[in-house]
Amino acid sequence: MSSRKLTCVSITLIFVLWQCVELEAELQVGFYRTSCSMAEFIVKEEVREGFIGDKGVAAGLVRMHFHDCFVRVRGFGYDVPAGRRDGRISLASEAFTNLPFPTFNINQLTGSFANKGFAQEEMVTLSGAHTIGHSHCTSFSNSTSPNLVVPMNPTSPSITDVGYYMDVLANRGLFTSDQALLTNPATANLVNQYARNPLLWKSRFAAAMEKMGQIGVLTGTAGEIRANCRVINS
């Protein structure tokens, strides 16, 4: 993924938020409709242009959303409630203690998501995010090259589809945690359902992503809107 493209998207989003911020108690769709009615359209267009230039932007944004919410897309769309502010604390150690590892078994995965308020069904649904993007080989093998990456879903690495679940059923899941979904009758049944019914997965994925956006929300005067997404404001 091109960091330059993702940075451009982030800068545009930050600029819009700086100009249009509105203090309210909770996230909502159309958060900026009175202060900056074009805000969501501008962000959508910038993301679209970024994706045209670099397909990896989609996976990068999903990963950013997951990491930001869980620790502290091409193919279909859904309304995103806005108003979430950045926190002032960002510790690498928190990622290791909160994010699920690619080596997790089904019980560890279920427990990790349950700690954030997600049901096992939602865990399987969100695992479908592995349909896009790439992984460093060090995440699943004894690779000697830390920069070597491979697509998560080789047949359609840039399209948000149910190819991930098809790969898992064919024992081609990249991570141990991917194949772990078949070790439990309930989760294996969901994998089969999603592989056969793309619309079911897409609707549940959108709902689960929206729910994830509600974790640990900072609004109003809490948190900040960062001028540089990599560091807190000075």
What count of other Cβ atoms lies within 10 Å of the Cβ of residue 25?
Answer: 9
100 belongs to an annotated ligand binding site: yes
Assign 91 to helix, strand or coil: coil
| Distances 29 to 67, 161, 182, 222 between C-alpha atoms, Å | 21, 25, 36, 20
- Is the pTM of the predicted complex or chain greater than 0.75? no
131 belongs to an annotated ligand binding site: yes
Q: Which domains does the chain have, with CATH numbers?
A: 100-212 (1.10.420.10)
Element (H, E) at 197: none
Please list the pLDDT of the chain residue by residue as tens digits (234 residues).
Answer: 444 444 444 444 443 443 333 334 467 777 777 777 777 777 777 777 776 776 665 666 665 655 554 444 465 667 777 777 888 877 777 766 778 899 999 999 999 999 999 999 999 999 999 998 888 888 888 887 888 888 888 888 888 899 999 999 999 999 999 999 999 999 999 999 999 999 999 999 989 988 888 888 887 788 888 888 778 888
Write down the pLDDT at residue 74.
62
- The residues annotated as belonging to the active site are 67
Write down the pLDDT at residue 104.
96
Element (H, E) at 151: strand 149-151
User: Which tokens belong to 54?
Assistant: 């670099």
Cα separation, 99 vs 191, in Å, equals: 21
Cα separation, 21 vs 225, in Å, equals: 9
